[in-house]
């Protein structure tokens, strides 16, 4: 996960450079940081079967890398090219945003399942105490 921190730091530096896309880039960056925080604070990915099956960590890393590549490519283009390719670049930005949205849904689903499993375990333990 350390490489993700490095890439997120680079994304932070790049995301504010494009004036007309600054707000959208900032939203994607904040969403990525929220996801990173969730992954750090949540149950270990190795222990969460849902996150393992969906390869959530790998998909998150890929999304962050994609966003970083997008920002790097965008910032390296001359202003005229950026204006001409604006709609194409906004489409790519939306794809990255959608990928992250799907991952957030997966993470929420995994958290719900983990919570339900914990609740079920507690209920079983309570039932064993009541009905030996």
Query: What are 88-111's pLDDT values in tens digits?
Result: 888 988 999 898 888 888 777 666
How much of the chain exceeds pLDDT 70, in percent? Answer: 72
**pLDDT recorded at residue 54:** 61
Q: Judge contact between 35 and 107, C-beta under 8 A.
A: yes
**CA geometry: angle 79, 80, 81, nearest 5 deg:** 90
Q: How far apart are CA 43 and CA 117, in angstroms?
A: 13
Two tokens at 128? 């064993």
**pLDDT recorded at residue 46:** 54
**pLDDT recorded at residue 60:** 86
Q: How many CA atoms lie within 13 A of 132 on its CB side?
A: 1
Two tokens at 81? 């090219």
Two tokens at 100? 């992250």
């Amino acid at each position: 996960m350390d490489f993700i921190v490095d890439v997120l730091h680079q994304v932070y530096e790049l995301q504010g450079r494009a004036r007309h896309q600054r707000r959208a880039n900032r939203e994607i960056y904040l969403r990525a940081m929220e996801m990173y925080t969730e992954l750090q604070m949540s149950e270990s990915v190795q222990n969460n079967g849902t996150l393992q099956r969906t390869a959530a960590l790998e998909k998150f890393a890929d999304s962050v890398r994609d966003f970083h590549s997008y920002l790097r490519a965008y910032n390296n283009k001359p202003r005229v090219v950026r204006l001409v390719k604006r709609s194409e670049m906004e489409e790519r930005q939306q794809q990255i945003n959608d990928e992250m949205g799907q991952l957030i849904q997966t993470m929420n689903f995994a958290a719900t399942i983990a919570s339900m499993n914990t609740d079920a375990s507690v209920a079983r333990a309570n039932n064993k105490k009541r009905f030996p």
